[in-house]
Structure formats: C-alpha cells, structure tokens
Structure 1
C-alpha cells in the first residue's frame, strides 16, 4: 500500500505505484502480511530513495525482506531505506504512525485490517500495479487486496498455511468425506452442525484458555477456602445436633441448615470473585501472548485495551466498554457494601 499524504516527487523517474509494483510484486504467493504504508521514520527526502516500514524483526523474515529490497535496488537503481520495528510495537503504534509521516510502503495484513486504513484515507490505491501482476493471483486474493471502494491498496508478498485436522474414525462412522474445496468445507460444516456436532474447534484458544483458568483458580482458591473455614468455625454445631434429633439426613442438614448459615460468607465470596474477574488482566494478557484478545479470552479489560491503544484505534468503542465495566463494577461493589453494613447493624 502507498502513503496518501506524501506528494509524488517532481523529479523524473518511476512513480510511487511503479515503485510499489517493483518492490512488492517481485514475489507473489498469497496473503499474509504484505505491504501497505507504515510504522517508520517517515518518507525519504531523496526521490531516489524508497522508505520501507517492516515488522519483520526476527532473523528469517529480516533476511528475506533484505533479499527483496536488494533485488529491487539492483533492478531499478533506487535505494531502499528499511525501518524495522518489532511485530508487537508495529501493531500497537500503526494508527498514530499513519496519521503522522509514514514510510512509502509498509507491511500489514490483508482484508478488513487493510480496508480500515484505506477507508480513512491513510493509504493510496495501487491499481496500476495490479494491471501488471493481477494475472498471477486468485480471485480470493484479489478480493482481500481491495478496499471497500473496489480499488487495490495491497500487494501480497507471502502466505503461511493453516491446517485443519480431522478424526478419520468419526468421518468413517458418520459417512463424511474430506472436503477438497471451500464450498465442500462449508457444506460439510453445515451437515456436521445439523448432526449436532461442532464443525471446527480452535486448538489455540482451547489450550490457552485452560491454562488461564488454572492460573486464575490457583490464585484465588486458597483465599476462598479461608473464608469458608472462618464461616464454618462460627457455625453453631448445636444446630446440626438438633437437626439430627429431628431425623434430618446429612443432605437435608447441609442444604437447610449449614448452607443458609453460610449465606453472608457466600455473598462475600461471590462479590469478591466477580470483582476479581472484572479486574483480571495481567494473567490473561501474559498467557495470551500480550497482543489482542484471543479466542476464549475476550475479557472486558482486554477489549478496552485493544480498542483504545490497539492497532485499530476504536477509542469511542473502547470508552463505551470502559463505562460498561465501571457500571458492572459499581453493582458488585454496591452489593458488597450493602452486605457489610447489614452485618455491622446486626
């Protein structure tokens, strides 16, 4: 994608769209994190220099991008000034950077994540480039490279595979056949849904979600057990003896005598658990990888952070979520205070 704010140099030479075509159109697999315009030190003053913002800070992608830019310099005679930023910083700062002085081209993601910035006028179309390279890409890839206005803003540079594993025994039992096309995959998913099965399960979200639950429970179980022990210590054993003399079973004694007597403790535990859940952030953020809300981990605190300081910069939506979190927190705090004051009055 090309920068929208920088004027095209008046000096003779290739235009920006031709530059993008040469720099990015050399390779062409599919869509992952190819090039738009972003996160760097700003466009170069030299019309013979192209600035390139890259999030490929690791050794392998950094070397691959160096190979592309070296080939471009050899073929075009133009220099490439590469500004490399680590992936997480790149994503978090891209919104503010694009509103400043971005590079000529930059790495980003296809589809709606590209369309968001194109719609805001933070990138320029590269339709001329696609007139040259378009025959080498599928219709699906072309669709992911276009903005909502139908213009091309994105040039694919590489792709990475996603694998779907299936249980052969289940397929044999149900008479399913492994799909070979996307339409067959959708049809199979609908058929499995009709058979009462979940067609797709995310191993990533499931695994990490259990680890977060384990860490959270380990953190609070001991505290809750101490509260229950304190409540049981204050319980009058004569009530259980009276229930036994009246012929009550152990089950009846627990649900009609012990549990009602522990009501103040249960209220405190519920309120404290709700408050701790609302303020949960650090464990989920660390175990979830630190970037964005992961499947099964969409907490209000993370959604607020993602929208206010994340890549999309949906400050209004994030602020609305923050207000919602405040209101829910006030309800929990109010219930806790009411229970505490009642206990003191008694």
Structure 2
C-alpha cells in the first residue's frame, strides 16, 4: 500500500486505515462477531492498513478491548489511535456527556491503556472538545501524558481551525479527525481550505471518519434495511425521502467508478485521498471482503475529469446528525 506521513512524527502509515467502531456498536449490532473482527483487524495489518482507530466510548470500552486482543503479538506493526472526552451515561440509550477535565483524562487514559493492553498509546485524541473546560487546560494535561510516556502523539476530533491553532501553539497537533466524504465537505470549507488546509500548512495528518457516508456512498443501501439498534434509523440522511433524494450523489459516483473499473466505495475513498497528501481516511468494516475493497482504494487514481464531476455533486439532503 502507498504510505503517508503521520503528522511530523517521521512515522509512515498506510494511506488508508481502519475504523473499528462498528465492530462494537451503532452499526448492525446483531452481526457483531468478535472473532471475525479480530481476523479483519489482522488482515488490515497484513495489507498495510496499520492506522487502527477506536475510542473509549465505543461499546463502553468493548472496542478498545477488542482492538487490544487483535494487536497482541503484533504491537510493532500497528499504530493505535484512541480517544477520550465523551463519557457514556447509558449504553442502551446511548446517552453521554463531554468531560475534558484533567481528573477524567487521568482516569480515562489509564483505563484505555488497560483495555488495549498497551504500555503507551500511539495517538490520543480529544474526542469532542468540552466547552466547560478551557482547551488550553485539557491540551496541557494531555501534553503531560506525552512527557510521562503514556502517549506518543496528540490529536483533536472535530475541532474548528481556531481550536486547532490554539492547541498547536501549546503542543504539536499530530492529527485532526473529522468527518469528510463526498456528502460531507465541511472540513474543506472556510479560509485557506478549512481544517484540511490547516493540517497541510502545519504538517498534521487529517483523518476522515465516515469517508463512505456511513455506507450510503457505496450504493448498496436502501431505506428500511436497518435494524432498530442501528443508529442510522434515526439519522436524518437515512430517512426514506432523504435517501431517495441523495441517490443522485451515488449515481454520479457510480458513473465515475464505471469509468475507472472500480467500485463506488473505492471512488469515495480515493476522493478523500485526493484532497491532500496529509489525508488518511479510516473507513470502517467488520467484513473481510469490504476491507480488501476499501484498502485497495489506495491505488485508485482519479483524473481531473473525475474530480470535476465529483466536485459538482449536489449538497446532501438531511443533516449529518
């Protein structure tokens, strides 16, 4: 697989990683199979997709434990990223609140290290910035974890450019993770190319989550197919009328895919890669076939014609949450 830099760390990672969240919750939970997921994670490492993404929130810690089991014995091959800052209040109802306090950070990092079975976390993100706690206080406390050898590098999830700048002035931001896809382009908008442009300017990695539009951009989903526990049942873009309206986005993606003799999923991932050399998407799957398809997108090159057609796509109908 083609390699890209992880921020300014000097570390090279596969240009497409693996988001592990759906192995534990929110997506088709009845299909959860830990042993199969462990095999998929190991296959990702075999194929060079070594940026593995999780969070303490996912499945109330289950996802970290799962990832820890998967990378045991292959620690040197994996770049493990996890997050703190959202506290789960009720697993069944998925009720949660933000907490970026120093006290919670200290307890959260120890719990993540234990679940992951690691001595040090490679990349540690603030999952969502807590308006009740000054960012400088949170980021400074996270920098202490680097000094103590508990964490190697720091990242932010879904910050504004102003927040990223503030944090970077205190301690280097190695990565920013935000949603970016052919139906969610907010991270490209604003002065100097938005968050993606800011990452390019300082040498940080930009890590798009949901590059496949939570599966919609693959062209394989239809209204009414989601079980009750699948969070897409309540997502505005997955209401029947919105899915029907957004089909026009998929139609163009499929046209480009046919021209390139690849799949719509591969076009969607390749488009994120085309947004800059600092971009490393993390599509999620618990299926070996889709994993191979996703990682192979690293070798898909879109032409100027392809990119122009994709740039002209209409805005998505429905908010992303």
TM above 0.5, yes or no, is no
Identify, as 1 or 2, the structure richer in strand: 2
Question: Which has the higher Rg, Structure 1 or Structure 2?
Answer: 1
Bigger RCO (CA 8 Å, 6+ sep) = 2
TM-score calculated relative to the size of structure 1: 0.27
Q: Which has the higher helix share?
A: 1
| TM-score, scaled relative to structure 2 | 0.28
